[in-house]
Amino acid sequence: MERGSDAILATERYGSQERWSYRLKDGRMEREREGEERRGTAASLMSVFKSVFLPQGYPESVSEDYIQYQFWDTVQAFSSSLSGTLATQASLRGVGVGDREATVAAATITWILRDGTGMLGRILFAWVKGSKLDCDAKKWRLFADVLNDFAMFIEIVAPAFPACFTLIICIAGVFKSLVGVAGGATRAALTVHQARRDNMADVSAKDGSQETLVNMAGLLVSLLLIPVVTDNSVLTFALFFLFTSLHLFANYWAVRSVIMETLNQARLSILTHQYLLDGRVLTPALANHREPVFPEFSSSVPVRLGVRLGEVVDSPEELQLALKNNDNRYLIGVKQGAVCVCLGRGVSVQEEVRSVFQVQCLRAVLSSHCPLGGAVGALRESWTQADARDLWGLVSESHKRIDRIFPAFFTGLKEAGWQTDRTLLDWDEWRADWGKKTD
């Protein structure tokens, strides 16, 4: 290569954001940024902003739904910050700030009682619902934000009831403690989903930076807001409901924007029903858009996963019935109107998915209002023609039919982009061993 030529010797890039080239100029190798002549001050500031508030390697290092979720999360955090300011002002007024007759001891006792009841609530909620938060992160994320708004509303109205102020504040403290557990746990679950390069710590840290920036903006607005709303209850309530409405709206769209590729019970149910209808396996985007984000308080046929063996079979005869036509490491039984699954030790992820797929088919058969054709329609027809009380016969027949349709369904899951090496199904920890079926 001749001296003084402008030939490119090598190129490099920093993620997908920056590209550099090494050129030979006057016998020396010089490094230049591609497009540097078009790079202005605004672009430089944007680059600094991204490096401070976005994970390293963005957008390749995070999930595709990251930026949409973070946008709505920012909106909800800002509105929640303003609502929290109004609630804090009401709480301080309730404990006697500005009242000459109020004592420091009384205010301190109120605050201690509020924090103490909140701590107990946090422990109890984590004990009762801790294992459910991973499985339905979207629902519990939205639940936490709705409960947080309700707790702040209680704090705002508490000063109007001075005789019950301490009790009301303690109730609000319990609600906020539940919010802390559910919100923090589900945020961690969503962070695991967003981190695509084992960079959960970086994603979590940058999320914290974003939230801190939003809270700083909320504090500045609050400084202007407090003098306006002080001693004006009507304006306080009007602004609170405005900010709360914005908060709930943003939270709803935040959880709706999340597209998780891991199977939980709700998403697998949606996939199963669609597959039984027309043989299609929905993509993660389509299934997530159909996933309910509000708690469902009723179910025509309840499902219980990972139960004790005694909740599936009551006798050696029932054990043999449960093993009929069943070569899997799980047992299914219909007890007291619920479909129960007992797992054997060493069960694979594929068998876990298969068992819930089979459970959804059984639920469709047992639910007369669910008009499904294909294998489930044939299973329902054969069961109706036989003794409708023979639930073990239904389970046995379902094993044979699932043997024929599940392999294609599981292959379709992989092709559609679903994770099939792990699940978020709501399994309890019971595992059992049973003898081999006798012919």
- Superfamily grouping for domain 66-256: MFS general substrate transporter like domains (1.20.1250.20)
- pLDDT over threshold 90, residue 251: yes
Contact (CB, 8 A) for 437 and 347: no
Greater confidence (376 vs 281) lies with 281
- pLDDT over threshold 90, residue 369: no
Average pLDDT of the segment spanning 221-240: 87
DSSP for 384-402, please give it: HHS-TT-HHHHHHHHHHHH
Provide the residue ranges of all domains of the chain, joining segments of one domain with +.
8-53, 66-256, 265-432
- pLDDT over threshold 90, residue 425: yes
Please provide residue 56's backbone torsions phi and psi, each rounded to the nearest 5 degrees: -60, 135
Average pLDDT of the segment spanning 188-213: 92
Contact (CB, 8 A) for 264 and 136: yes
Task: Tell the residue number behind the tokens 């294609």, with chain if given.
Answer: 408
For residue 333, what are its two tokens? 């039984």
> 306-309 contacts: CB < 8 A, separation 24 or more?
306/341, 306/342, 306/343, 306/427, 306/428, 306/429, 306/430, 306/431, 307/340, 307/341, 307/342, 307/428, 307/430, 308/342, 308/430, 308/432, 309/342, 309/430, 309/432, 309/434
From residue 345, alpha-carbon distances to 41, 42, 55, 369 in Å are 61, 59, 40, 36
Contact (CB, 8 A) for 426 and 304: no
Q: What percent of the chain has pLDDT over 90?
A: 45
Q: What is the DSSP letter of 374?
A: H
pLDDT of residue 370: 54
pLDDT of residue 386: 53
DSSP 3-state of 122? helix
For residue 355, what are its two tokens? 């068992």
| 5 pLDDT tier (thresholds 50, 70, 90) | low
Contact (CB, 8 A) for 350 and 268: no
Distance CA 1, CA 50 (A): 39
Distance CA 44, CA 63 (A): 25
- pLDDT over threshold 60, residue 436: no
- pLDDT over threshold 80, residue 278: yes
- The number of CA neighbours under 13 Å toward the Cβ of 82 is 25
Q: Cα Rg for the chain, rounded, in angstroms?
A: 29
For residue 257, what are its two tokens? 């924007």
pTM, to two decimals: 0.83
Dihedral angle, C-alpha 33, 36, 39, 45, nearest 10 ° = 30
Vertex 394 angle, CA 413 and 384, to 5°: 115
**26-81 pLDDT tens trace:** 778 888 877 655 555 666 787 788 889 999 888 889 999 999 999 999 999 999 99
- Tell me the pairing of strands 338-344 and 431-432: parallel
- pLDDT over threshold 80, residue 110: no
| 129 pLDDT tier (thresholds 50, 70, 90) | confident
